[in-house]
Amino acid sequence: MSFMEIKNLKKSYENGLIKALDGVDLTIEKGEFIAIIGASGSGKSTLLNMLGGLDVADEGTIRIGDYDLRNTKKLNEFRSKFVGFIFQLHNLISNISCAENVEIPMYELKMSNKEMRKRSLELLDLVNLKNKASSDPKVLSGGERQRVAIARSLANSPAIILADEPTGSLDSKNTENILKLLQELQIKENITLIIVTHDLDVAKHANRIIEFLDGKIINDNKNN
Ligand SMILES: Nc1ncnc2c1ncn2[C@@H]1O[C@H](COP(=O)(O)OP(=O)(O)O)[C@@H](O)[C@H]1O
Ligand SMILES: [Mg+2]
């Protein structure tokens, strides 16, 4: 049995006029590093949101580990225990510190304040930003902010990290650094890393590149 099994996934909008996902079948093993590429509007973000339990399909199934994501009663538990999210922009909260931002996913985990702070400092250290723990994210550079976002995505020790254009607002040097960091974590923690990107230079870091067009998979290159 594979780690993730996606069968005949469909999602439409505007009363069926827009087929965002049009029958997606996909099997993913634990620890894979996958890049999802494709033109704007091809369904990449829709798929990622469903894999993270942020949205539900019209038809088809997603099973991840023991979770059947059709069971909406368990989606909250699934998200808080299993998934780390990284988005492109506007992903940190201003007027609270970087450490507090990293602690946000820990609130679901019944940790004490002391335990949360210990872990957030460890995670900020991991992304080389321990010295910014008490800074407001708004004084950080774009690359630093995205490193805080990575630290936050790891707060709940997720089995899966879902990243939607995580380097979309960064220059090439910061992009390279962020990808190296994500890849190190993926290998060390055996995390399943799924990155949506329109940037082929980003995709080439992945072990597998899946290409979307009009809500369908048109290429699946497993030996990238
Ligand atoms: N909430 C929504 N309401 C209406 N249409 C949507 C919604 N979300 C996505 N879509 C449409 O679904 C298609 C796929 O979108 P998306 O998954 O965001 O594409 P991508 O991430 O590949 O750019 C697009 O045509 C988009 O406009
Ligand atoms: Mg998108």
Residue 89 has what pLDDT?
65
Q: Candidates 11, 12, 45, 216: which one to mutate for ligand 1, based on the most atoms within 8 Å of Cβ?
A: 45
* 79-116 pLDDT tens trace: 999 999 988 765 799 999 999 999 999 998 889 999 99
Q: Is 52 in the pocket of ligand 1 (CB under 6 A)?
A: no
**Residues 14-54 pLDDT 10s:** 999 999 999 999 999 999 999 999 999 999 999 999 999 99
Tell me the whole-structure pTM to 2 decimals.
0.92
What fold is seen in the domain 4-90+152-221?
Rossmann fold (3.40.50)
Task: Give the angle subtended at the CA of 153 by the CAs of 182 and 11, to the nearest 5°.
Answer: 95
> Nearest residue CA, atom 3 of ligand 1?
13
| Pocket of ligand 1 contains residue 38 by CB under 6 Å | yes
Under 8 Å CB-to-CB from 1, ≥6 apart: which residues?
Answer: none
Ligand 1 close to Cβ of residue 192 (< 6 A): no
What number of other Cβ atoms are within 10 A of residue 57's Cβ?
21
**pLDDT tens per residue across span 209-219:** 999 999 999 99
Mean pLDDT across 172-188: 88
